[in-house]
Amino acid sequence: MGADREDVVVYWRPGCPYCMKLRLQLRVVGLPRTEVNIWQDPEAAAYVRSVADGNETVPTVRVGGTALVNPSLRRLLKTVKANARRTA
């Protein structure tokens, strides 16, 4: 896929079914990523609020400089691919 772990950051929190689904899908496709629990990282929670209209909506994913709030796997993979082309 061309992504490095630093290129893709998944912000999540325990108990979020959407987070569990996306994280499982990413594990299955083998996408390198960093996962950050926003309940354990105040800076991460602040970042999520800054891109989600003041809400702590998760999963939120950062791909390079692009933020995706509650993305589908398909949308996320398309964004990763586009980011890889831009940075190549």
**% of the chain exceeding 70 in pLDDT:** 92
Distance of CA 43 to the CA centre of its chain: 15
Distance CA(67)–CA(80), nearest Å, equals 11
pLDDT one-digit tens code per residue, 14-38: 999 999 999 999 999 999 999 999 9
Distance CA(88)–CA(72), nearest Å, equals 24
Helix or strand run (H / E) with residue 10: strand 8-12
Output DSSP code: residue 70.
Answer: S
Distance CA(82)–CA(79), nearest Å, equals 5
Architecture, CATH, for domain 8-87: 3-Layer(aba) Sandwich (3.40)
pTM, entire model: 0.91
Cis peptide bond prior to 59, omega within 30° of 0: yes
Domain ranges, ordered by start, for the chain? 8-87
